[in-house]
Amino acid sequence: MIEKIFAPQLLGLTALERESVHERLDRTVGNPAAKAAIDMALWDILGRAAGMPVSGLLGGYSDRMRVSHMVGFAPAAEMVAEAERIRDTYGITTFKVKVGRQPYTEDVTACRALREALGPDVDLYIDGNRGWTASDAVRALREMADLGLTFAEELCPADDVLGRRWLVAQSPVLFIADESATRAAEVTRELLGGSATAISIKTARTGFIASQRVLHECEGLGVEVVMGNQIDGGIGTLCSVAFGAAHGGAGAVPDPDGRLVRQADRGRGLARLAPGSPAPQVLGARPPTDHHPAVLQGRQPCRRRHRLRREARADPRPGSGCGRQRPRGHVRLRPRQGVIDRALRRTHGRRHSARPRPGGPRGPGGP
Amino acid sequence: MIEKIFAPQLLGLTALERESVHERLDRTVGNPAAKAAIDMALWDILGRAAGMPVSGLLGGYSDRMRVSHMVGFAPAAEMVAEAERIRDTYGITTFKVKVGRQPYTEDVTACRALREALGPDVDLYIDGNRGWTASDAVRALREMADLGLTFAEELCPADDVLGRRWLVAQSPVLFIADESATRAAEVTRELLGGSATAISIKTARTGFIASQRVLHECEGLGVEVVMGNQIDGGIGTLCSVAFGAAHGGAGAVPDPDGRLVRQADRGRGLARLAPGSPAPQVLGARPPTDHHPAVLQGRQPCRRRHRLRREARADPRPGSGCGRQRPRGHVRLRPRQGVIDRALRRTHGRRHSARPRPGGPRGPGGP
């Protein structure tokens, strides 16, 4: 797609003519992953030419963001074991739990088992990948009302328009649109139509500049966003962190004045942009390893709320330690200039495969 | 404000930590012009450090945008004479006509005189600065229905909430919110509340990154924007052009493949970013001069509509010449790296004065 269709249209433009590049790309409908790869490669070129990190050019809010691990379909006991292993190995304490099975009670059972095993200090964020009906979803949310869920994502199809609106209106947690809102216009339709109350942004499909457009629209509308990851490889994950860390509001981002470093020190799962470290590598893991979580999820609430939330979180919880341990659960990513454009095509090609990465999470086959 | 309040909070941050800078600035409410000046100075620093034009870092869509000239309150014959002089001297053919006088019929008379004198090929865009009641405005729009107005801006106060909504609902042209929508949240309220159907962006009050947030929100919502100028000095005008030209959709922006250069050649008023030319200077004016239009207005319609509109405009009109004349009505602005930060404080200080610049337009005392 890039070689045959897009590249010939872009010859002669420079990385400083990004908007013209996109105008030409947009003559062809669809192909968001190829367009995203080109956009991020342009930013990589800019960063290399300027000798500056792309995350700084994008906004430079922080060098780290909180991550989650995706727990795919399995018997409840296996899901619990996986989550415990990830928590103990990487310090990650946010879990995106795949739901949407039939009967829905199987997922309710799994979520309850996770909460009981992991305790109150982890975030459980359910993602249905459109697997339930609206009716199933409403019943499931009611039965999980005591589990303290963080978010719910795409529990039923967005094309079940009125059912989805009915579900969203009574959801006790923010309802995230992901695959139903991949462009700014879709974001507008889903939000104004009552089909979502939060948005998932994935750089693999909107690159940096269209992701920024969606983020800015959501900020203006007062809508929270999360950064998603659709089984990207290492470079794709790096792009997600570069974007998320640039823009503020990622769940556990330290303020430059250090207020939140304590949270990192408490071992919450964070992805870190750290020039010079191998990309990507988990630091603080036992044993040291170059495995990285394939699902990376940082909250990006709107700024006002975020500030309040961060301040609340900065208070050390009783029993959570003195905040002096060695940081654990950080993913340090080396934003090595020049690697992105060489690797993007491979990464994004891989994205289309529903086959999970070896050693990666077991999802229900969707992003 | 900058020296005493903001600067001490920013010590130690770099230009690559823009989002952190804004988080700190936003601890203090208000003071948008000071915050905007700091934001644009950061971009200037980035551009100088990278050796790249800021307009390119922002998006690099084009090197020029269409401008308008503001025609202030005066007897109708004087307003016509001023518009003719500007058209003949600078090639500018879009006029932002101040309205809002009592009785409203005085403005209707002036607009009719302008259309009759200038003919059908100029754009007349009225701006009421909240001077009329909603009832006046509806009557005035009806009486000017045959004048082919382009836009109407702030004809009545936004705080006349229901009256404004009633007016906007029946306006035959896009109704622009300017001083009532200076932040993203206000943009959201005015648009969703039916108080506006288009938005004016001014870099003097939202800098580059908050302007980008508003632009991106409007694009996502399918809402057109214009770039405004509030009696800025030369550096402020340069900032408006740098932003507007970066993002595509300015009224007469040439496509990189040259489709619209003919329009420029036909003598339409365009502002041009041209490294190496004095900043700002009108090129093609008779006689050559370093005067620049104090009001600079480029349309930024959403991209889909814009593309159609540009293609329509690219057709040479009968009698408009062969498109081979020397370009006229261009404002070439030298984006000289380093001038912005030195001059921003002075420029933005001046902004707060309602006193018109010597030789500048006579506005009704508001932006």
Distance, CA of A256 to CA of B353 (rounded, Å): 36
Identify the weakest region by mean pLDDT among A237-241, A336-340, B173-177: A336-340
Residue type, A212: Q
Mean pLDDT computed over B23-29: 93
Nearest CA-CA distance, residue B141 and chain A, Å: 30
* Residue of higher predicted confidence among A237 and A283: A237
Highest mean pLDDT (candidates A117-131, A236-250, B276-290, B318-332): A117-131
Report chain A residues whose CB lies below 8 A from the CB of B53: 16
Q: What is the pTM of this model?
A: 0.75
Cα–Cα distance for residue pair A269/A330, rounded to 1 Å:
6
Point out the catalytic residue in the list A123, A136, A153, A232. Answer: A153
Homologous superfamily (CATH) for B58-351? Enolase-like C-terminal domain (3.20.20.120)
CA distance, residue A63 to nearest chain B CA (Å): 10
Cβ separation B185–A246 shorter than 8 A: no
Q: Which residue did the predictor score with more confidence, B341 or B269?
A: B269
Residue A359 scores a pLDDT above 80: no
pLDDT tens digits, A326-357: 233 333 333 333 334 343 334 333 333 223 23
Question: In the predicted model, is pLDDT for residue B282 greater than 90?
Answer: no
Q: What is the pLDDT of residue B290?
A: 37
Question: Which range among B7-21, B40-54, B146-160, B288-302 shows the weakest confidence by mean pLDDT?
Answer: B288-302
How crowded is residue A142: how many other Cβ atoms within 10 Å of its Cβ?
11
Mutate one of B10, B11, B18, B243 to test the A interface: name it (highest A CB count within 10 A): B18
Per the CB < 8 Å rule, is B56 touching A16? yes
**Segment A104-158, tens digit of pLDDT:** 999 999 999 999 999 999 999 999 999 999 999 999 999 999 999 999 999 999 9
Please pick, among B107, B178, B190, B224, the residue that the annotation labels catalytic.
B178
Task: Assess whether B230 carries a catalytic annotation.
Answer: yes
* Per-residue pLDDT, A272: 53
Check residue B272 and give its pLDDT: 54
| Average pLDDT of the residues in B236-250 | 81
pLDDT for A229: 83
Copy the structure tokens of residue B241. Answer: 């052009």
Q: Greater confidence, A358 or A227?
A: A227
In the predicted structure, residue A240 carries a pLDDT above the cut 80: yes
| The pLDDT value given to residue B321 | 29
| Integer Cα distance of A61 and A81 in angstroms | 35
Asked if B256 lies within 8 A of A62 by C-beta distance, the reply is no
Mean pLDDT of all residues in B196-215: 95
Structure tokens at B94: 């879009």
CA distance A149 to A125: 6
Q: Which residues of B touch A (CB under 8 A)?
A: 12-14, 16-20, 23, 26, 46, 49-53, 56-57, 59-62, 184-185, 187-188, 209, 212-217, 219-222, 246-248, 255-256, 303, 307
The pLDDT of residue A301 is: 36
Mean pLDDT of B194-217: 95
* Per-residue pLDDT at B151: 95
- 3-class DSSP assignment, residue B64: strand
Rounded to whole angstroms, how far apart are CA atoms B38 and B25? 9
Query: Which residue from A208, A287, A245 is spatially nearest to A67, judged by alpha carbons?
Result: A245
Q: Confidence class of residue B5 from pLDDT cuts 50, 70 and 90?
A: very high
Q: Give the Cα separation of B367 and B365 in Å (integer).
A: 7
Structure confidence at residue A270 (pLDDT) = 52
Specify the higher pLDDT residue, B360 or B137: B137
- Match domain A58-336 to its CATH number in 3.30.450.80, 3.40.190.10, 3.40.50.300, 3.20.20.120: 3.20.20.120
Q: Which residue has the higher pLDDT, A251 or A227?
A: A227
Q: Is the CB of residue B17 less than 8 Å from the CB of residue A60?
A: yes
Averaged pLDDT, B139-147: 98
Q: Listing from the earlier edge strand, what are the strands of the sheet with A281-283?
A: A64-66, A270-273, A330-333, A281-283
The predicted structure's pLDDT at residue B273:
56
Is residue B153 among the annotated active site residues? Answer: yes
Catalytic status, residue B265: no
Please say if B341 is a catalytic residue. Answer: no
Q: Which residue has the higher pLDDT, A68 or A150?
A: A150
Second CATH level (architecture) for the domain B2-56: 2-Layer Sandwich (3.30)
Contacts of A19 in chain B (CB under 8 A): 59-61, 246-248
- 3-state SS of chain A? CHHHHHHHHHCCCCCCCHHHHHHHHCCCCCCHHHHHHHHHHHHHHHHHHHCCCHHHHHCCCCCEEECCEEECCCCHHHHHHHHHHHHHHHCCCEEEEECCCCCCHHHHHHHHHHHHHHCCCCEEEEECCCCCCHHHHHHHHHHCHHHCCCEEECCCCCCCHHHHHHHHHHCCCEEEECCCCCCHHHHHHHHHCCCCCEEEECHHHHCCHHHHHHHHHHHHHCCEEEECCCCCCHHHHHHHHHHHHHCCCCCCCCCCCCCCHHHHHCCCCEEEECCCCCCCEEECCCCCECCCCCCCCEEECCHHHHHHHHHHHHCCCCCCCCCCCCCCCEEEECCCCCHHHHHHHHHHHHHCCCCCCCCCCCCCCCC
The stretch A270-274 carries a mean pLDDT of 52
Q: What is the pLDDT of residue A68?
A: 85
Coil, strand or helix at B326: coil
Q: What is the model's pLDDT at position B343?
A: 39
**In chain B, which ranges are continuous DSSP H helix?**
7-10, 18-25, 32-50, 54-58, 76-90, 105-118, 134-143, 161-170, 184-192, 203-206, 209-221, 234-246, 261-265, 303-314, 339-351
Confidence of residue A24 (pLDDT cuts 50, 70, 90): very high
Least confident range of A39-53, A184-198, B284-298, B301-315: B301-315
> What pLDDT sits at residue B253?
42
Of A46, A62, A188, the CB nearest to B221: A188
* pLDDT (0 to 100) of residue A336: 37
pLDDT score at B142: 98
Q: Determine which of B16, B25, B191 to mutate to test the interface with A (most A C-beta atoms within 10 Å).
A: B16
- Specify the higher pLDDT residue, B291 or A230: A230
Closest alpha carbon within chain A to B17: A60
Q: How far is A187 from chain B (nearest CA, A)?
A: 8
Residues of chain B with CATH 3.30.390.10: 2-56
Predicted confidence band of residue A273 (pLDDT cuts 50, 70, 90): low
- Which candidate in B39, B44, B123, B153 is catalytic? B153
Q: Is the pLDDT of residue B57 over 60?
A: yes
Reduced to 3 states (helix: H, G, I; strand: E, B; else coil), residue B54 is: helix
pLDDT at position B260, please? Answer: 28
Each residue of B69-105: pLDDT tens digit?
899 999 999 999 999 999 998 888 899 999 999 999 9
Residue B287 pLDDT > 60, yes or no? no
Q: What pairs with residue A289 in β-bridges?
A: A282
Please give the pLDDT value at position B62.
83
| pLDDT tops 50 at residue B338 | no
Measured between beta carbons, the chain A residues lying within 8 angstroms of B26 are: 303
